[in-house]
Amino acid sequence: MSPILSDPVELRRQGFEALVKALGWVNAVRFLQQYDASRLDYTREREQILPNWDAEALFQKLRERG
Each residue's pLDDT tens digit, 11-49? 999 999 999 999 999 999 999 988 877 777 878 888 888
d(CA 66, CA 15): 53
> What's the confidence (pLDDT) of residue 14?
94
Are the CB atoms for 28 and 16 separated by under 8 Å?
A: yes
pTM of full prediction above 0.85: no
d(CA 52, CA 24): 46
d(CA 11, CA 3): 11
